[in-house]
Amino acid sequence: MLNFFHGSGTAMITPFHKDGGVNFEAFGKMLEFQIANGTDMLVILGTTGEPATMSEEEKSAVMEFAVKKINKRATVVIGTGSNCTAHAVQASKLAEQMGADGLLAVTPYYNKCTQNGIYEYYKTIADAVSLPIICYNVPPRTGVNILPATMKKIADIENIAGIKEACGNMEQIVTTARMIRGKCDLYSGDDHLNLPILANGGAGLISVSSNILPKETKQLYSFVREGNLAAANEIQDKMLPIIDNLFTEVNPICVKAAANMLGMDGGTPRAPLTEIEPAHAEALRNALRAFGCSVVD
Protein backbone atom coordinates (compact mmCIF):
# COMPACT_ATOMS: atom_id res chain seq x y z
CA MET A 1 0.00 0.00 0.00
CA LEU A 2 1.09 3.56 -0.72
CA ASN A 3 0.73 6.89 1.06
CA PHE A 4 0.21 5.73 4.63
CA PHE A 5 2.61 8.39 5.83
CA HIS A 6 4.56 11.29 4.36
CA GLY A 7 6.68 13.55 6.55
CA SER A 8 8.90 13.62 9.57
CA GLY A 9 8.63 10.94 12.24
CA THR A 10 10.34 10.65 15.61
CA ALA A 11 11.46 7.36 17.16
CA MET A 12 10.53 8.36 20.70
CA ILE A 13 12.64 7.66 23.75
CA THR A 14 10.91 6.26 26.83
CA PRO A 15 11.94 8.28 29.91
CA PHE A 16 12.43 6.27 33.07
CA HIS A 17 12.51 7.39 36.69
CA LYS A 18 15.66 6.68 38.69
CA ASP A 19 13.77 3.86 40.41
CA GLY A 20 13.15 2.29 37.00
CA GLY A 21 9.49 3.08 36.33
CA VAL A 22 8.21 4.94 33.27
CA ASN A 23 8.13 8.72 33.77
CA PHE A 24 4.78 9.44 32.15
CA GLU A 25 4.87 13.13 33.07
CA ALA A 26 8.12 13.64 31.17
CA PHE A 27 6.89 11.41 28.33
CA GLY A 28 3.76 13.49 27.94
CA LYS A 29 5.80 16.69 27.73
CA MET A 30 8.02 15.12 25.06
CA LEU A 31 5.00 14.16 22.98
CA GLU A 32 3.64 17.70 23.23
CA PHE A 33 7.06 19.09 22.25
CA GLN A 34 7.05 16.95 19.13
CA ILE A 35 3.55 17.94 18.07
CA ALA A 36 4.22 21.64 18.72
CA ASN A 37 7.25 21.47 16.43
CA GLY A 38 5.49 19.89 13.48
CA THR A 39 6.40 16.22 13.77
CA ASP A 40 3.97 14.22 11.65
CA MET A 41 4.42 10.75 13.12
CA LEU A 42 5.41 9.49 16.55
CA VAL A 43 6.88 6.00 16.80
CA ILE A 44 6.33 4.52 20.25
CA LEU A 45 8.29 1.49 21.51
CA GLY A 46 10.69 1.37 18.61
CA THR A 47 14.32 0.50 19.32
CA THR A 48 14.90 4.00 20.73
CA GLY A 49 12.09 3.40 23.22
CA GLU A 50 13.89 0.41 24.80
CA PRO A 51 11.00 -2.10 24.67
CA ALA A 52 13.46 -4.99 25.00
CA THR A 53 13.88 -4.14 28.70
CA MET A 54 10.23 -3.34 29.42
CA SER A 55 7.59 -5.66 30.82
CA GLU A 56 4.43 -6.40 28.85
CA GLU A 57 2.46 -4.39 31.39
CA GLU A 58 4.75 -1.37 30.92
CA LYS A 59 4.55 -1.56 27.14
CA SER A 60 0.76 -1.77 27.25
CA ALA A 61 0.60 1.24 29.56
CA VAL A 62 2.92 3.26 27.31
CA MET A 63 0.84 2.38 24.22
CA GLU A 64 -2.39 3.43 25.92
CA PHE A 65 -0.92 6.64 27.30
CA ALA A 66 0.59 7.70 23.96
CA VAL A 67 -2.57 7.06 21.93
CA LYS A 68 -4.71 9.04 24.37
CA LYS A 69 -2.20 11.86 24.78
CA ILE A 70 -1.61 12.35 21.06
CA ASN A 71 -5.36 12.12 20.39
CA LYS A 72 -5.15 12.08 16.57
CA ARG A 73 -2.91 15.18 16.42
CA ALA A 74 -0.18 13.10 14.79
CA THR A 75 0.09 9.62 13.34
CA VAL A 76 0.81 7.03 16.06
CA VAL A 77 2.89 4.01 15.11
CA ILE A 78 3.69 1.32 17.67
CA GLY A 79 6.75 -0.91 17.52
CA THR A 80 5.60 -4.51 17.75
CA GLY A 81 8.40 -6.55 16.18
CA SER A 82 9.92 -9.53 17.95
CA ASN A 83 12.22 -12.49 17.46
CA CYS A 84 9.11 -14.62 18.05
CA THR A 85 6.45 -14.36 15.35
CA ALA A 86 3.65 -15.33 17.75
CA HIS A 87 4.71 -12.59 20.16
CA ALA A 88 4.85 -10.03 17.34
CA VAL A 89 1.32 -10.99 16.32
CA GLN A 90 0.08 -10.67 19.89
CA ALA A 91 1.69 -7.22 20.30
CA SER A 92 0.34 -6.08 16.94
CA LYS A 93 -3.20 -7.08 17.84
CA LEU A 94 -2.91 -5.22 21.13
CA ALA A 95 -1.62 -2.06 19.40
CA GLU A 96 -4.57 -2.24 16.99
CA GLN A 97 -6.99 -2.57 19.91
CA MET A 98 -5.33 0.40 21.63
CA GLY A 99 -6.05 2.63 18.65
CA ALA A 100 -2.67 2.85 16.93
CA ASP A 101 -2.64 4.14 13.35
CA GLY A 102 0.07 1.76 12.22
CA LEU A 103 2.80 -0.66 13.24
CA LEU A 104 6.58 -0.71 12.98
CA ALA A 105 7.83 -4.30 12.87
CA VAL A 106 11.56 -4.85 13.13
CA THR A 107 12.91 -8.01 11.52
CA PRO A 108 13.18 -11.08 13.79
CA TYR A 109 16.43 -10.53 15.67
CA TYR A 110 19.01 -13.03 16.97
CA ASN A 111 17.33 -16.08 15.39
CA LYS A 112 18.91 -15.22 12.01
CA CYS A 113 16.11 -16.64 9.89
CA THR A 114 16.31 -17.01 6.12
CA GLN A 115 14.87 -14.57 3.58
CA ASN A 116 11.87 -16.86 3.31
CA GLY A 117 11.53 -16.71 7.08
CA ILE A 118 11.52 -12.90 6.94
CA TYR A 119 8.75 -12.96 4.34
CA GLU A 120 6.65 -15.42 6.34
CA TYR A 121 7.14 -13.32 9.49
CA TYR A 122 5.68 -10.21 7.84
CA LYS A 123 2.96 -12.17 6.07
CA THR A 124 1.81 -13.68 9.36
CA ILE A 125 1.68 -10.31 11.12
CA ALA A 126 -0.11 -8.68 8.19
CA ASP A 127 -2.71 -11.44 8.08
CA ALA A 128 -3.45 -10.96 11.79
CA VAL A 129 -4.20 -7.20 11.72
CA SER A 130 -5.67 -4.61 9.39
CA LEU A 131 -3.29 -1.78 10.30
CA PRO A 132 -0.60 -0.51 7.91
CA ILE A 133 2.77 -2.10 8.69
CA ILE A 134 6.19 -0.54 8.19
CA CYS A 135 8.96 -3.13 7.99
CA TYR A 136 12.16 -2.15 9.81
CA ASN A 137 15.50 -3.23 8.41
CA VAL A 138 18.45 -2.66 10.76
CA PRO A 139 20.90 -5.55 10.26
CA PRO A 140 23.65 -4.18 12.56
CA ARG A 141 21.27 -4.71 15.48
CA THR A 142 19.27 -7.75 14.37
CA GLY A 143 21.68 -9.96 12.46
CA VAL A 144 19.34 -10.29 9.45
CA ASN A 145 18.95 -8.14 6.36
CA ILE A 146 15.84 -7.66 4.20
CA LEU A 147 17.34 -8.00 0.75
CA PRO A 148 15.77 -5.99 -2.09
CA ALA A 149 14.23 -9.02 -3.79
CA THR A 150 12.65 -10.08 -0.50
CA MET A 151 11.22 -6.62 0.11
CA LYS A 152 9.79 -6.62 -3.40
CA LYS A 153 7.86 -9.77 -2.46
CA ILE A 154 6.83 -8.41 0.95
CA ALA A 155 5.57 -5.21 -0.73
CA ASP A 156 2.87 -7.24 -2.48
CA ILE A 157 1.20 -7.95 0.88
CA GLU A 158 -1.88 -5.74 1.07
CA ASN A 159 -1.24 -3.81 4.29
CA ILE A 160 2.54 -3.45 4.04
CA ALA A 161 2.98 0.33 3.98
CA GLY A 162 6.72 0.51 3.50
CA ILE A 163 10.17 -0.15 4.84
CA LYS A 164 12.23 1.85 7.31
CA GLU A 165 15.77 1.40 5.99
CA ALA A 166 18.72 1.52 8.35
CA CYS A 167 20.98 -1.02 6.67
CA GLY A 168 23.58 1.70 5.99
CA ASN A 169 24.18 0.55 2.44
CA MET A 170 22.96 3.16 -0.07
CA GLU A 171 23.48 0.79 -3.00
CA GLN A 172 21.10 -1.69 -1.40
CA ILE A 173 18.65 1.06 -0.43
CA VAL A 174 18.56 2.44 -3.98
CA THR A 175 17.91 -1.06 -5.31
CA THR A 176 15.13 -1.64 -2.78
CA ALA A 177 13.59 1.72 -3.70
CA ARG A 178 13.52 0.72 -7.36
CA MET A 179 11.94 -2.65 -6.62
CA ILE A 180 9.16 -1.36 -4.35
CA ARG A 181 8.37 1.85 -6.19
CA GLY A 182 4.64 2.00 -6.85
CA LYS A 183 3.96 -0.79 -4.32
CA CYS A 184 4.84 0.67 -0.92
CA ASP A 185 6.93 3.50 0.48
CA LEU A 186 10.55 3.92 1.53
CA TYR A 187 11.44 5.64 4.81
CA SER A 188 14.82 6.69 6.12
CA GLY A 189 15.75 5.07 9.41
CA ASP A 190 19.27 6.47 9.55
CA ASP A 191 19.76 10.13 10.44
CA HIS A 192 23.05 10.26 8.52
CA LEU A 193 21.22 9.19 5.36
CA ASN A 194 17.98 11.17 5.69
CA LEU A 195 18.82 13.52 2.83
CA PRO A 196 19.95 10.98 0.21
CA ILE A 197 17.08 8.61 1.01
CA LEU A 198 14.52 11.40 0.74
CA ALA A 199 16.15 12.59 -2.48
CA ASN A 200 15.81 9.06 -3.86
CA GLY A 201 12.06 9.16 -3.43
CA GLY A 202 11.72 8.41 0.27
CA ALA A 203 8.25 9.27 1.55
CA GLY A 204 9.53 10.31 4.95
CA LEU A 205 11.97 9.70 7.74
CA ILE A 206 11.89 8.13 11.19
CA SER A 207 14.52 9.91 13.21
CA VAL A 208 16.36 9.59 16.50
CA SER A 209 17.81 13.11 16.41
CA SER A 210 14.34 14.60 16.05
CA ASN A 211 13.77 13.76 19.72
CA ILE A 212 15.79 16.92 20.36
CA LEU A 213 15.65 18.67 16.95
CA PRO A 214 12.10 18.08 15.69
CA LYS A 215 11.71 21.46 13.99
CA GLU A 216 14.92 21.18 12.01
CA THR A 217 14.24 17.57 11.06
CA LYS A 218 10.83 18.54 9.69
CA GLN A 219 12.45 21.43 7.80
CA LEU A 220 14.88 19.00 6.16
CA TYR A 221 11.98 16.88 4.95
CA SER A 222 10.06 19.92 3.71
CA PHE A 223 13.03 21.34 1.78
CA VAL A 224 13.53 18.05 -0.06
CA ARG A 225 9.82 17.79 -0.89
CA GLU A 226 9.93 21.34 -2.25
CA GLY A 227 12.94 20.48 -4.40
CA ASN A 228 15.15 22.93 -2.51
CA LEU A 229 18.20 20.68 -2.15
CA ALA A 230 20.52 23.59 -1.40
CA ALA A 231 18.53 24.44 1.74
CA ALA A 232 18.21 20.75 2.60
CA ASN A 233 21.98 20.30 2.38
CA GLU A 234 22.53 23.39 4.50
CA ILE A 235 20.33 22.20 7.36
CA GLN A 236 21.64 18.63 7.15
CA ASP A 237 25.22 19.94 7.29
CA LYS A 238 24.34 21.95 10.39
CA MET A 239 22.73 18.96 12.09
CA LEU A 240 25.43 16.39 11.27
CA PRO A 241 27.81 17.23 14.16
CA ILE A 242 24.96 16.56 16.59
CA ILE A 243 23.92 13.42 14.71
CA ASP A 244 27.52 12.17 14.82
CA ASN A 245 27.58 12.64 18.59
CA LEU A 246 24.23 10.94 19.08
CA PHE A 247 25.73 7.69 17.83
CA THR A 248 29.13 7.53 19.54
CA GLU A 249 27.50 4.92 21.78
CA VAL A 250 24.61 2.59 21.06
CA ASN A 251 21.22 4.26 20.70
CA PRO A 252 19.45 5.53 22.84
CA ILE A 253 22.28 6.20 25.31
CA CYS A 254 23.34 9.48 23.72
CA VAL A 255 19.94 10.85 22.77
CA LYS A 256 18.75 10.35 26.34
CA ALA A 257 21.82 12.24 27.55
CA ALA A 258 21.09 15.01 25.03
CA ALA A 259 17.50 15.26 26.23
CA ASN A 260 18.76 15.66 29.79
CA MET A 261 21.24 18.33 28.69
CA LEU A 262 18.34 20.26 27.15
CA GLY A 263 16.24 19.99 30.31
CA MET A 264 13.81 17.43 28.90
CA ASP A 265 14.20 14.80 31.64
CA GLY A 266 15.10 11.92 29.36
CA GLY A 267 16.11 9.74 32.28
CA THR A 268 18.71 7.00 32.03
CA PRO A 269 18.86 3.91 29.82
CA ARG A 270 17.94 0.58 31.32
CA ALA A 271 20.57 -2.08 31.94
CA PRO A 272 22.40 -3.55 30.18
CA LEU A 273 22.72 -0.12 28.56
CA THR A 274 24.72 2.32 30.65
CA GLU A 275 24.90 6.09 30.95
CA ILE A 276 26.99 8.01 28.44
CA GLU A 277 30.75 8.08 29.04
CA PRO A 278 32.17 11.45 30.21
CA ALA A 279 34.25 12.14 27.10
CA HIS A 280 31.29 11.45 24.82
CA ALA A 281 29.03 13.58 27.03
CA GLU A 282 31.38 16.54 26.76
CA ALA A 283 31.61 16.24 22.98
CA LEU A 284 27.82 16.01 22.73
CA ARG A 285 27.38 19.02 24.99
CA ASN A 286 29.78 21.03 22.84
CA ALA A 287 27.96 20.04 19.65
CA LEU A 288 24.63 21.12 21.11
CA ARG A 289 26.05 24.48 22.16
CA ALA A 290 27.66 25.01 18.75
CA PHE A 291 24.27 24.37 17.16
CA GLY A 292 22.79 27.09 19.35
CA CYS A 293 20.93 24.95 21.86
CA SER A 294 20.51 26.12 25.44
CA VAL A 295 22.30 23.46 27.46
CA VAL A 296 21.58 22.82 31.13
CA ASP A 297 24.81 22.47 33.13
pLDDT value of position 5: 94
pLDDT value of position 106: 98
- Helix (H, G, I), strand (E, B), or coil: what is residue 197? helix
| Catalytic-labelled residue, pool 109, 121, 122, 136 | 136
Task: Answer yes or no: is pLDDT of 18 > 90.
Answer: no
Of 187 and 297, the structure prediction assigns the larger pLDDT to 187
What is the fold, at CATH topology level, of the domain defined by 7-237? TIM Barrel (3.20.20)
- Give the Cα separation of 147 and 167 in Å (integer): 10
Output Rg (C-alpha) for the chain, integer angstroms: 18
Confidence tier at 61 by pLDDT (50, 70, 90): very high
Confidence tier at 20 by pLDDT (50, 70, 90): confident
Predicted confidence (pLDDT) per residue in 238-262, tens digit: 999 999 999 999 999 999 999 999 9
| Catalytic-labelled residue, pool 153, 164, 218, 256 | 164
- Give the Cα separation of 255 and 153 in Å (integer): 35
Alpha-helical regions (H) of the chain: 24-36, 56-70, 85-98, 115-128, 139-142, 148-154, 170-180, 194-199, 214-226, 229-246, 253-261, 278-291
CB 107 within 8 A of CB 95: no
pLDDT value of position 53: 96
Task: Answer yes or no: is pLDDT of 296 > 90.
Answer: no
- Helix (H, G, I), strand (E, B), or coil: what is residue 160? strand
Predicted confidence (pLDDT) per residue in 194-227, tens digit: 999 999 999 999 999 999 999 999 999 999 999 9
Residue 192's Cα: distance from chain center in Å?
13
164 counts as catalytic? yes
187 counts as catalytic? no
**Domain residue spans in the chain?**
7-237
DSSP-assigned letter for residue 267: B
Please report, rounded to a whole number, the percentage of residues in the chain having pLDDT higher than 90: 98
When pLDDT is averaged across residues 149-155 and rounded to a whole number, the result is: 98
Confidence tier at 31 by pLDDT (50, 70, 90): very high
CB 89 within 8 A of CB 125: yes
pLDDT value of position 19: 82
When pLDDT is averaged across residues 55-61 and rounded to a whole number, the result is: 97
Predicted confidence (pLDDT) per residue in 107-135, tens digit: 999 999 999 999 999 999 999 999 999 99
Mean pLDDT estimate for the chain: 97
When pLDDT is averaged across residues 30-35 and rounded to a whole number, the result is: 98
